[in-house]
Chains A and B, each alone.
Chain A
Amino acid sequence: MNKDSTLNKLESMLESFLEVVVAQNEEKIEVQGAISRLDDIAHGIQEGNDLTADMGEWFARHNHWLGTELLKKEERSRIDEIFKEIRRELRVSEDSSPAIGKIASEIDRWQNVSRQGGHKVVLKRGPEIAPLPRTSEDLDVTVGLFQNQMERLGSLFASAAGRKQHLLSVLDDTLNSASIQKNKDALILSALIIYCLKQSGYLVKPYIERLREAEELQKGAPSRA
């Protein structure tokens, strides 16, 4: 085997090895690219450039990472650090444009999700009072009761939603109904809406606190369904 042939083989082996390394680090490279881009945007904002469109594009491309396990702890920390710098430069006020307000709230959302980490929201209910179904007839009654409740929840939601644009407004109404009117169905519907919002990456802690307060109020008074 001559020298060139050996070198060609070596070249091929080294390239194959590097291709495997790149393939195994595809996600890492993508994340680092996003962090690098965010860093560029932060520098641009610090220099006084209007990069709200770039920021919006960054969120559009990477918001789906929220609520996933893609980002490692140190990567999330780097993103948080850069967000802090950007947030400091944004100086949101009443005169700020809607775009800046939106970017500030998106940054806050990322940082809130980061702070929550891997904590799960557990909505606890009291122990079962009714006995477990022993016969198929019992099971049918339980299913039937639940079906009725689902229908009532559906009607209640339609009534609360009305012409409202956002689910948060509906939640506000159902929580008020659960607290003030001691409406049990409103309490359950509120819990369901909170869980849906949580799954979509919304900050729900204040609403969980209100739900708990409503639950406590209902425990102390006869409930309405």
Chain B
Amino acid sequence: MLSPSEKAYYFALQSLKEKRYSLASDYFDRAAPEFSQEREFILLRETIRLLVAVKRELQSGSDNSRLDLEEVFTNG
């Protein structure tokens, strides 16, 4: 029968195929106990982690794109 890590690896690849990168990243973390020494696994896992981090950064950047304007009145 399949181990939990093997199942997680399959779900990680399936999520990757569906472009659900955050979910794929979670599944890759769950698959890590059994596959963390495999080169292809490491490459995919790190690439997805980076992509998720970039997306998060872009998302937080757009939240901060608003400028708060404050009027300052000088004497006279």
Contacts and interface: CB of A to CB of B under 8 A. Distances in A.
Interface of A: 3-4, 7-8, 10-11, 14-15, 17-18, 21-22, 25, 28-29, 32-33, 35-36, 39, 42-43, 78, 81-82, 85
B53 to A, nearest CB: 10
Chief secondary structure at chain A's binding surface:
helix
B14 interface: yes
B54 A14 contact: yes
Chief secondary structure at chain B's binding surface:
helix
Given A7-B61, A39-B7, A33 B51 contact: no
B34 to A, nearest CB: 14
B10 A14 contact: no
A29 B2 contact: no
A11 B1 contact: no
Contacts, number: 58
B13 A25 contact: yes
A78 B57 contact: no
A39 B55 CA distance: 34
Given A14-B50, A17-B47, 12 more contacts: A4-B58, A7-B58, A15-B51, A18-B21, A18-B51, A22-B13, A33-B10, A33-B14, A36-B2, A39-B2, A42-B1, A43-B1
